[in-house]
Chain A
Amino acid sequence: METVIRIEDLWKWYGTREALKGIDLQVPGGQFISILGPNGAGKTTLIKCITGLARCQMGAINIYGLDLRKNLREIKGRMGIVHQENNLDVYLNVMENLYMYGYMLDIDKNKLERKIPETLHFMGIKESLWFEKVENLSGGTKRKLMIARALLNDPEILIMDEPTTGLDPSIRRLLWDRIISLKEKKITLILTTHYMEEAHYISDRVVIMHSGRIIEDGKPDELIERYLPPFAVELSPPVEFNQEYKSIRSGDTIIIYTQKPEMITSRIEGRGLRKVSVRKTNLEDVFLLLTGNRL
């Protein structure tokens, strides 16, 4: 697959603080990528650089072979961008928000009149809300509208900065399904999140960032297999275990990773532990192992 986004040795400072430290990233067309990391990892800064909303002091970003700095307007015309914070136009209603955004994207009026109802239906926004003022919408509907807005120009690349943060689980799941259905349109997606489940569910590839660097990059299942056995046993309070097992202490819990969880559980019977739970190893465990922090 052709590389549509090529980022080379990207550095960004805010004053003396290094926000991005030599980011290299290549994104093939049609791939869904999640960028994972805790607050301050550099995810949003990276997104801002890709969308032209932050200037990087060193490095290069090429999108469709075009230098982002020199071709910003053209590149933005082929992108859809969903920001982390709500920036819908509170002075306009739902339809007007989309109309104005499409107008600023130079979308032909006839096409816009067709695309607006289409995207509103696609995002599941009820017709009864189409002429409602934005301030009267629920948080979930506002977020759906922001995604609808980003889809108006049939973007080839969709950039979403924490699109489901702060939403309740049912809305989040609904948005995930909408986002996944965009695969049919061959869209390239870059999404930042600190929900591991979201990254696993949506993405073909996960990029883990920590302190301004990319520390791991791969398919979600492959990343888990690369670092850890398939099961995690959580014990609280933490107990000492021999070092044949990979384990991590997290607060007042120890997580022991193993191929055979029953080997662990049988050995701790009768020790009076407050919590014993067995689950499948997930991306959060990989993140914890790599960074020493939970997301």
Chain B
Amino acid sequence: MKYALKVFFRNFIAWKKLGWAILINALDPLVFLLAFGFGLGKLIGNVDGIPYIQYIAPAMVAIASLYGSFFETTYNAYVRMYYDKLYHAFASTKVNLEDIVLGEILWGAFRGQIYALLVLIVLVGFSIMDIGEVIILFLLTLPISFLFSSFGMFLSAIVPSITFFDYIYFVYISPMMLFSESYFPLKTLPPVFSIISPIVFPLFHGIKLMRTFLIKEQIEIPSFLTLIMLGTIYSLLAIKLMFNRIIR
């Protein structure tokens, strides 16, 4: 862990140099929150017995966490690995490849948490949540950030080129953001969606974890464990496959 934290620290130093530009990705969920929550929400009224803005707020936090972590360990990590050849540089020190992968996953999760925090701050600002709820929700985004950071790293270990991330985004990430009960309940769609989505879209569990806490003040243990379990599996796969990629 000591050497993984060194990789994390390196990324932090490089990130600080980019200034506020680094937060641009976080604008996306914020824009959706404003457009759907405050705009469309006024027309919709209540969903599942709660105002629409409160229905989508936890989903926006989860999606922000996904954005921050997934984009960091896909595009950004891939550039560090493939174009900048930094993994070879790091691996020439006392840092080993498993430290690099773990450090990148920690870093990606950190980025996810930063993005989630920005959305949470906006939600507090508009009095949609109170500080207590924000603190718990911030902690509940940790397994989401961890999962999508690990998933991104797993993909970075296997994609043949950086353009494949675009395909994965359009084919998998984008539908996942729509069909994980983020903007509407799945019961409005044919029943097959309610069966398939929890199986193929882990974001579903992230959003369920957040929303269950907000509505019932309970921790949805199965969703929490699903996120942790998948995050761990993807982390282990990322280490194994990155070895195959770098140390052939």
| B88 within 8 A of partner (CB) | yes
Interface string of A104-130 (1 = CB under 8 A from B): 111000000000000000000000000
List residues 51-100 of chain A with CB under 8 A from any CB of chain B: 51-55, 72-73, 76-77, 79, 81, 83, 85-92, 96, 100
What number of A-B contacts does a CB cutoff of 8 Å give?
68
Taking the closest CB of chain A, its distance from the CB of B5, in whole angstroms, is 11
B84 to chain A: which residues have CB within 8 Å?
A: 87, 89-90
A232 to B176, CA, bound (A): 72
Taking the closest CB of chain B, its distance from the CB of A135, in whole angstroms, is 11
| A131 within 8 A of partner (CB) | no
B90 to chain A: which residues have CB within 8 Å?
A: 104
Taking the closest CB of chain B, its distance from the CB of A268, in whole angstroms, is 51
Partner of B248, one of A14, A76, A91, A150: A14
B247 to chain A: which residues have CB within 8 Å?
A: 52-55
Determine if A88 and B89 form an interchain contact, defined as CB atoms under 8 angstroms apart.
yes
B171 to chain A: which residues have CB within 8 Å?
A: none
A96 to chain B: which residues have CB within 8 Å?
A: 13
30 residue pairs bridging A and B, Cβ less than 8 Å apart:
A53-B91, A55-B247, A73-B94, A76-B94, A77-B94, A83-B85, A83-B92, A85-B85, A86-B85, A87-B84, A87-B86, A87-B88, A88-B89, A90-B84, A91-B14, A91-B17, A92-B14, A92-B17, A96-B13, A100-B10, A101-B89, A101-B93, A103-B6, A103-B9, A104-B7, A104-B10, A104-B90, A104-B94, A105-B94, A150-B92
Taking the closest CB of chain A, its distance from the CB of B217, in whole angstroms, is 43
Give the B interface residue count (CB, 8 A): 23
A90 to B88, CA, bound (A): 14
Partner of A105, one of B7, B9, B17, B93: B93
Q: What 3 A-B pairs are tightest by C-beta distance, nearest first?
A: A104-B93, A87-B85, A91-B14
Determine if B6 and A53 form an interchain contact, defined as CB atoms under 8 angstroms apart.
no
Task: Give chain B's interface residues, CB within 8 Å of chain A.
Answer: 3, 6-7, 9-10, 13-14, 17, 84-86, 88-96, 246-248
Determine if B88 and A53 form an interchain contact, defined as CB atoms under 8 angstroms apart.
yes
A85 to chain B: which residues have CB within 8 Å?
A: 85, 88
Determine if B85 and A52 form an interchain contact, defined as CB atoms under 8 angstroms apart.
no
A194 to B211, CA, bound (A): 63
B89 to chain A: which residues have CB within 8 Å?
A: 83, 87-89, 101
A14 to B9, CA, bound (A): 34
Chain B residue at minimal CB-CB distance from A153: B93
A92 to B12, CA, bound (A): 11
Taking the closest CB of chain B, its distance from the CB of A151, in whole angstroms, is 12
Taking the closest CB of chain A, its distance from the CB of B21, in whole angstroms, is 13
A106 to chain B: which residues have CB within 8 Å?
A: 94
B91 to chain A: which residues have CB within 8 Å?
A: 52-53
Contacts A73-B96, A77-B94, A104-B94 given; does A92 touch B85 at CB 8 Å: no
A92 to chain B: which residues have CB within 8 Å?
A: 13-14, 17
Taking the closest CB of chain A, its distance from the CB of B43, in whole angstroms, is 45
A105 to B89, CA, bound (A): 11
A214 to B21, CA, bound (A): 52
A77 to B92, CA, bound (A): 9
Contacts A54-B247, A91-B17, A104-B6 given; does A76 touch B88 at CB 8 Å: no
B3 to chain A: which residues have CB within 8 Å?
A: 73, 104
Taking the closest CB of chain B, its distance from the CB of A78, in whole angstroms, is 10
Chain B residue at minimal CB-CB distance from A90: B84
Determine if A89 and B86 form an interchain contact, defined as CB atoms under 8 angstroms apart.
yes
A228 to B32, CA, bound (A): 77
Partner of B92, one of A14, A55, A81, A90: A81
A87 to chain B: which residues have CB within 8 Å?
A: 84-86, 88-89
Taking the closest CB of chain B, its distance from the CB of A212, in whole angstroms, is 15
Partner of B246, one of A53, A86, A88: A53
Residue among B10, B86, B92 facing the most chain A CB atoms (10 A cut-off): B92
With A51-B92, A105-B94 already in contact, 10 other A-B pairs whose C-beta atoms are closer than 8 Å:
A76-B94, A79-B92, A85-B88, A86-B85, A87-B85, A87-B89, A101-B93, A103-B9, A104-B10, A104-B94
Interface string of A256-289 (1 = CB under 8 A from B): 0000000000000000000000000000000000
A52 to chain B: which residues have CB within 8 Å?
A: 91, 96, 247
A73 to B246, CA, bound (A): 17
List residues 4-21 of chain A with CB under 8 A from any CB of chain B: 14
